[in-house]
Structure 1
Amino acid sequence: MDNINSLPALSSHIDYLLRLGDSTLVLGQRLAEWCGHGPVLEEDIALGNIALDLIGQSRLLLSHAGSLMQPPQSEDQLAYFREQFGFRNFTMLELPNSGLEKGQQQRDYAFTICRNFLFSAYAVLLWQALAESADRQLAAIAAKSAKEARYHLRHSSDWMLRFGDGTAESHRRAQDALNALLPYAQEFFSADQTEQQAAAEDIAIPGSSLKPDWEQLVQGVIQDATLAWPPSWNSSQFRSSGKTGQHSEHFGFLLAEMQSLARAHPGANW
């Protein structure tokens, strides 16, 4: 297929749908890496189910985005045959489960849970708002996804409380994860032309409008977990840029693993 980077400039509508679909796809892929490696069997199953929810959301969103393209693209074409600069996911969601330390291969469950918590709190608010989108297909996807996101948030919130109010080691790991991940959450709320145009057409919701409710939701759990909210949150100038196609050094490795089978056997089905 044609690389998406070689296609004419995408409309804000399509670009926005890709941001939603790519974010759920990439986080689902990261969570799938825990399959067979969960700290206990129950959590192995729980993370697998959350990953399946996210990938299911992605399938609906990418299929919808692809149907609006000329020529139309399938969900598989968009997931498996785009190059990394064509992806529009939030940078936070592509970070390795080991954390940010280069070369560290050991999975860190606190890092995974904290990321799920920060994103799920955002997703609950986002899907609730998008259930009123002028794009009726997106609205239907959002209404379904909101139910799943509420479960994801409940699961991750419970674990944040267990980590934060547990042992000294679990508290340290949760705090370290929160400190590392929070700067990337700024990307949820940074506005750009794509989002502004889609919002003007009543398709999207400005991310900045969700920030106060997100802060209240997240900070309440953080306080109950006896964790500290970094004072640099409001003054930080760091903005990751995955939603514009500029990714971290980790993304190419994730994409290579996710796409390798489809690219080795293009057109195969079973």
Structure 2
Amino acid sequence: MVTVERVELSAELAGGEGRAATADVAEYALWLGDDALILSQQLGAWIARAPELEEDVALANIALDLLGHARSFLRYAGTYDDRTEDDLAYWREEAEFRCAWLFQQPNGDFAQTIARQLAASVYLFELYTALQGSSDETLAAIAAKAVKEVEYHRDHAVQWTLRLARGTDESRRRMVRAVGDVWPYVGELFRDEPLIDRLEDAAVRPSTLQPPFDAVIAAVFAEAELEVPSGPMSSAGGRHGSHFPTLGYLLAEMQVLARQHPGATW
């Protein structure tokens, strides 16, 4: 179970060597930090609304883990231009965020959240596993901490996928629909952007993550008797500041307190 102390420890990993990020490393850290931050905010909305009390706790714990990852990446990104993690979370405009569209998909019903969480956690597990080998020591350290937590997130999503897909007729219908709704946004995760070429071995090439991702998803879907959607992928554009319509509403809710009471402490 996650604790506030674990969130703090995760955040402290960033910048531990005292070195500032370069412009390209900072941009890459924003990719990773924004993905985790937005997914954390999404999952937090389930607290007191999940289908059972245990899931209130589980989703809250996953959200806190992701918040810790986001704080670490954003703190490191901010070393490039002397911005804090709070500056980056609360004072950027929508077009300045770099999260992929998958993480911006609405919660919908519980099945849709689980379908999104399955794709996200399988992807993040493969990403952080590979990022441990980064030539950037700070990125590697954050990934080494995060991958242990994301392994639980992945297992949680897999178990719920199986439970819903092999449950009642209604739960299966909703899971099938949810997978169809979410999957068009998966392809963006594996696109090789020019930034990756510039970073070389400091970053993980997204396209290399697709084969292990596909293998895990194929195994889970086979057990759940689900089909991997084969329709077209969304053009998306989150890495360049072009976002799904829901992101603006999410940011308005997330940022309102900081913007109404700048500099407030308690």
TM-score (norm 1): 0.89
Superimposed CA distance per residue, residues 196-247 of structure 1 (whole angstroms, 9 cap, x where no aligned partner)? 222x2x1101100010110000111011011111233xxx253211121100
The residue that corresponds to 1:96 in the other structure is: 106
Query: Within the alignment, does 1:53 sit opposite 2:70 as a pair?
Result: no
Q: Structure 2 unaligned runs (5+)?
A: 1-21
Moved more, 41-50 or 165-174: 165-174
Local SS of the residue matching 1:50: helix
Check the 8 A contact 1:164/1:170 in 2, yes or no: yes
Distance 1:95 1:237 in 2: 14
The residue that corresponds to 1:3 in the other structure is: none
Residue correspondence of structure 1 range 5-24 to structure 2 within 5 A: 11-24=23-36
Residue correspondence of structure 1 range 217-228 to structure 2 within 5 A: 217-228=216-227
TM-score (norm 2): 0.90
Check the 8 A contact 1:171/1:227 in 2, yes or no: no
Distance 1:237 1:64 in 2: 32
Superimposed CA distance per residue, residues 167-224 of structure 1 (whole angstroms, 9 cap, x where no aligned partner)? 11111111111111111000100111112222x2x11011000101100001110110
Question: Which of the numbers 237, 253, 256 marks the counterpart of 1:241?
Answer: 237
Amino acid corresponding to residue 107 of structure 2 in structure 1: N
1:248 deviation in Å?
1.1
1:20 deviation in Å?
0.1
Local SS of the residue matching 2:92: coil
The residue that corresponds to 1:250 in the other structure is: 246
Q: Structure 1 unaligned runs (5+)?
A: 1-9, 99-107
Residue correspondence of structure 1 range 1-270 to structure 2 within 5 A: 11-69=23-81, 72-98=82-108, 108-198=109-199, 200=200, 202-232=201-231, 236-270=232-266
Identical amino acids, percent of aligned pairs: 42
Distance 1:42 1:230 in 2: 30
Superimposed CA distance per residue, residues 132-188 of structure 1 (whole angstroms, 9 cap, x where no aligned partner)? 111101100000000011000000000000011111111111111111111100010
Distance 1:143 1:46 in 2: 22
Local SS of the residue matching 1:183: helix
Local SS of the residue matching 1:247: coil
Query: Relative to total residues, which structure has the larger helix share, 1 or 2?
Result: 2
Distance 1:138 1:231 in 2: 34
Amino acid corresponding to residue 237 of structure 2 in structure 1: S
The residue that corresponds to 1:105 in the other structure is: none
Distance 1:133 1:146 in 2: 14
Amino acid corresponding to residue 264 of structure 1 in structure 2: Q
Amino acid corresponding to residue 85 of structure 2 in structure 1: E
Distance 1:13 1:157 in 2: 32
Would you say how many aligned residue pairs link Structure 1 and Structure 2? 245
Distance 1:49 1:238 in 2: 30
Moved more, 89-98 or 78-87: 89-98
Amino acid corresponding to residue 12 of structure 1 in structure 2: D
Distance 1:27 1:140 in 2: 21
Distance 2:26 2:243 in 1: 19
